[in-house]
Structures are given as C-alpha cells and as structure tokens.
Amino acid sequence: MAWTDSRIFQQAMINPIAGRCWTTAVPTTYSSLSADDIRASLFNNSVTPDRTVAVGSTGYNTGTWTTGNEVTDVTNWTATGRALGTKTFTVDTGSSSICFSAANLSGAGNVTITNAFGCLIYDNTITGGTVVDQGLCYNYFGGAQSVVAGAFTIVWATPGGGAISAVFNITV
C-alpha cells in the first residue's frame, strides 16, 4: 500500500512534541522545533507511510523512508531535502488546533523532479536517543508531481476554519 493520507507519527507526538509531559529523555541534540533544522524530503510512490510504526522506522533513511525512494534534483533539491524557514508553533483559534507552520518551500533554483508523491518532514538535528533524523510527519500531495527545469514550490494548506497554514496541526 502506498500513500493514503497525511499524518503525524505517533512516536513524534510522544517525543519530542509532547515530551515535556513526562520524564522522557529528549532525543539526542534535540533543542526545539524552532531551533532545529527541520527538513522536507520528497518521496516516490514506493513508500508505505504508517503513523504507527516504531520510532526506529520513522527517521530519514530508515523504515520505508530510504534514500532509494527519495526524489531529488541533482542540484537544487538534493538528498536530505530542503530546510523549512519562518517556522511558528501557535494556536489557531479558528480551527481549534496547534499549528506548526512554515513558509512555502521552494528549491534552491530551478529543478527537475519526477513523480514526487509526498514529503517526509523530519528533524535533521536529532542524532540519536529516538532515531537519527527523527520523522515528525508526512504529507501526501494526492498524486504524482513532476516538473522539468522549473520552479517547485510546496504551498502548505490551511486547516478548515483556520487562519494560518500548517505543515502539521494538532486538534485540541
């Protein structure tokens, strides 16, 4: 089974997102979503995203998220993906959710991308404890996305009733 939806990993919810709720050791070298290098890597339709997998299978280049399934451009959207910028973590009253937001994400220049079906959002700063480069969530685009020598920009959606766009949100 390939992509079906967009989800936060259960293991990311328990640590690091809700890690302060318990005496759980934070992932090694993890600081915060604001300070860490949070990245988006593109993947093909050979992955099988599963929000319930063990933490060891949520990281970049672990589980289904291996580099063999990654979609890259030679120069401007290389392996390990692109870093998110202008991040925020705030309550959106309209959607009654906590939103992790970032600026729309583009390549470093024109790219050639073939059949990107979705992206893995992961913490490139984490070096262990949970898993290296721990995944936070995955976002399914809803079909194949291909571009030839052009701009590729990910535009994050806005939750229903909400006022701000979000990479992921937690309804409370």
Partner 1 sequence: MSVPLLVAYQDWHCPECGAEERTPPLPPNASRMHTCPRLHMLTAPMVRAGSDCKLVATERGDYLGNEIQATGDDGKPYMNVETVHADGHNDLAVFAPVARGYL
| Nearest alpha-carbon partner for 149 in 108, 104, 113 | 113
46 lies in the site for partner 1, by CB under 8 A: no
End-to-end CA distance of the chain: 30
The answer to whether residue 85 forms part of the interface with partner 1 (CB under 8 A) is: no
Tell me which of 25, 54, 79, 151 binds partner 1, using CB under 8 A.
151
Cα–Cα distance for residue pair 44/125, rounded to 1 Å: 24
103 binds partner 1 (CB under 8 A): no
Judged by CB under 8 A, the stretch of 29-37, 60-68, 126-134, 139-147 that binds partner 1 is 139-147
With respect to partner 1, which residue has the nearer C-beta, 10 or 31? 10
Q: Exposed, middle or buried by CB within 10 Å (0-12, 13-18, 19+), for 71?
A: buried
Helix (H, G, I), strand (E, B) or coil at 124: coil
The rounded distance, in Å, linking the Cα atoms of 55 and 78 is: 25
By CB under 8 A, tell whether 110 contacts partner 1: yes
Least distance in angstroms from the C-beta of 35 to partner 1:
21
Q: Which residues bind partner 1 (CB under 8 A)?
A: 3-8, 13, 18, 76, 104, 106-110, 113, 116, 118-119, 121, 137-160, 166-172
